[in-house]
Amino acid sequence: MIDIINLLPDNIANQIAAGEVIQRPASAVKELLENAVDAGATSIEMHLADAGKTLIQVIDNGKGMSETDARMCFERHATSKIKNIDDLFHIRTMGFRGEALASIAAVAQVEIKTRRAEDELGTFIEIDNSVVRKQEACACAVGTNICMKNLFFSVPARRNFLKSNASEMRHIVDEFIHVALAFPNIFFSLTSNGQQVFHLEAGNYKQRFLQLLGNQYSTKLVAVKETTDYLNINGFVGKPEAAKKTRGDQYFFVNNRFIKSAYLNHAVITAFDALLPKDSFPVYALYIDLDPSQVDINVHPTKQEIKFEDEKIVYAFVQAAIKHALAQFSISPSLDFSLNADIMQAEAVTQPFTQEKQQTVTASELYKKFSQKNQAHLIEPGEKNALKHWQDFYTESNFTQEQPLAAAVALNLNNPELPVVNSQLLNTYIVGSLKDGFMLIHQQHAHERILFERYAAIIQTRQPVTQQTLFPVTLELSPQDATLLTELLNDLELLGYKIEAFGKNSFIIQGTPADILHGNEKHSVELLLEQFKHFSSELKFSRREKLVHCMARQQAIKAGRALSIKEMETLVEELFKCNTPSVTPNGNPVFAEFNDEQLLKMFGK
- Residue 500 in this model has a pLDDT that exceeds 50: yes
Higher pLDDT, 46 or 490: 46
pTM above 0.75, yes or no: no
pLDDT of residue 406: 37
Of the segments 247-261, 358-372, 436-450, 481-495, which one has the largest average pLDDT value? 436-450
DSSP classification of residue 387: G
Closest CA to 281 of 533, 588, 552, 561: 533
Query: How many CA atoms does the CB half-sphere of 230 hold within 13 Å?
Result: 19
pLDDT of residue 204: 92
- Residue 137 in this model has a pLDDT that exceeds 90: yes
Percent of residues, the chain, with pLDDT higher than 90: 31
360 pLDDT tier (thresholds 50, 70, 90)? low
pLDDT of residue 428: 93
Are the beta carbons of 55 and 172 closer than 8 angstroms?
no
Are the beta carbons of 52 and 166 closer than 8 angstroms?
no
DSSP classification of residue 277: P
Higher pLDDT, 367 or 118: 118
Q: Any residues with CB less than 8 A from the CB of 71 and at least 6 apart, and which? A: 123, 125, 132, 135
**Across 278-283, average pLDDT:** 82
Residue range 508-534, pLDDT digits in tens: 999 888 878 777 888 888 888 888 877
Question: 3-class SS at 534?
Answer: coil
- Residue 10 in this model has a pLDDT that exceeds 90: no
Distance CA 568, CA 571 (A): 5
Distance CA 581, CA 264 (A): 37
288 pLDDT tier (thresholds 50, 70, 90)? very high
340 pLDDT tier (thresholds 50, 70, 90)? very low
Distance CA 265, CA 250 (A): 8
294 pLDDT tier (thresholds 50, 70, 90)? confident
Distance CA 1, CA 19 (A): 34
Distance CA 236, CA 359 (A): 34
Distance CA 499, CA 556 (A): 22
Q: Any residues with CB less than 8 A from the CB of 478 and at least 6 apart, and which? A: 212, 213, 214, 505
**Which segment of 167-181, 348-362, 571-585 scores lowest on mean pLDDT?**
348-362
Are the beta carbons of 583 and 589 closer than 8 angstroms?
yes
Q: Which amino acid is at 126?
A: E
353 pLDDT tier (thresholds 50, 70, 90)? low
Buried b (16+ CB within 10 A) or exposed e, 464-481: bebeebeebbebebbbbb
Closest CA to 494 of 548, 534, 540: 548
Distance CA 598, CA 604 (A): 10
Higher pLDDT, 28 or 353: 28
**Options 3.90.380.10, 3.40.50.720, 3.30.230.10, 3.20.10.10; which CATH number does 216-328 get?**
3.30.230.10
402-594, which class in CATH? alpha beta
Q: Which helix (H) or strand (E) holds 407?
A: helix 402-414
DSSP classification of residue 593: E
pLDDT of residue 442: 95
- Which residues pair with residue 296 across a beta bridge? 307
Distance CA 570, CA 586 (A): 23
Mean pLDDT estimate for the chain: 79
pLDDT of residue 72: 85
- Residue 127 in this model has a pLDDT that exceeds 70: yes
Are the beta carbons of 315 and 113 closer than 8 angstroms?
no
Longest dimension (CA), the chain: 97
Residue range 63-72, pLDDT digits in tens: 999 998 888 8
Residue range 211-222, pLDDT digits in tens: 888 888 888 899
Distances (CA, A) of 297 to 93, 158, 309: 11, 28, 11
**Across 472-485, average pLDDT:** 85
Q: Which CATH architecture has domain 10-203?
A: 2-Layer Sandwich (3.30)
Are the beta carbons of 269 and 281 closer than 8 angstroms?
yes
Q: What number of other Cβ atoms are within 10 A of residue 76's Cβ?
A: 19
20 pLDDT tier (thresholds 50, 70, 90)? low
Q: Any residues with CB less than 8 A from the CB of 136 and at least 6 apart, and which? A: 123, 124
pLDDT of residue 481: 84
Distances (CA, A) of 83 to 64, 80, 88, 297, 500: 20, 8, 9, 17, 55
Are the beta carbons of 452 and 574 closer than 8 angstroms?
no
58 pLDDT tier (thresholds 50, 70, 90)? very high
- Which residues pair with residue 460 across a beta bridge? none
**Across 79-98, average pLDDT:** 49
**Across 270-295, average pLDDT:** 84
Q: What number of other Cβ atoms are within 10 A of residue 603's Cβ?
A: 6
**Across 242-261, average pLDDT:** 85
- Which residues pair with residue 500 across a beta bridge? 508
- Residue 107 in this model has a pLDDT that exceeds 80: yes
**Which segment of 204-213, 237-246, 247-256, 330-339 scores lowest on mean pLDDT?**
330-339
**Which segment of 12-16, 195-199, 404-408 scores lowest on mean pLDDT?**
404-408
Are the beta carbons of 299 and 307 closer than 8 angstroms?
yes
87 pLDDT tier (thresholds 50, 70, 90)? very low
Helices (H) and strands (E) in the chain, counts: 21, 22
pLDDT of residue 77: 58
Round to the nearest angstrom and report the end-to-end CA distance of the chain: 77
Q: Any residues with CB less than 8 A from the CB of 59 and at least 6 apart, and which? A: 44, 45, 46, 47, 143, 144, 145
Distance CA 200, CA 181 (A): 10
Distance CA 489, CA 528 (A): 12
- Residue 298 in this model has a pLDDT that exceeds 80: no
- Which residues pair with residue 512 across a beta bridge? 467
Helices (H), 113-204: 156-160, 165-182
Distance CA 32, CA 45 (A): 11
Q: Which helix (H) or strand (E) holds 456?
A: helix 443-461
pLDDT of residue 388: 47
pLDDT of residue 79: 53
One DSSP character per residue, 470-516 reads: EEEEEEE--HHHHHHHHHHHHHHHHHT-EEEE-STTEEEEEEEETTS
409 pLDDT tier (thresholds 50, 70, 90)? very low
pLDDT of residue 386: 46
Q: Any residues with CB less than 8 A from the CB of 185 and at least 6 apart, and which? A: 42, 202, 203
Q: What number of other Cβ atoms are within 10 A of residue 240's Cβ?
A: 17
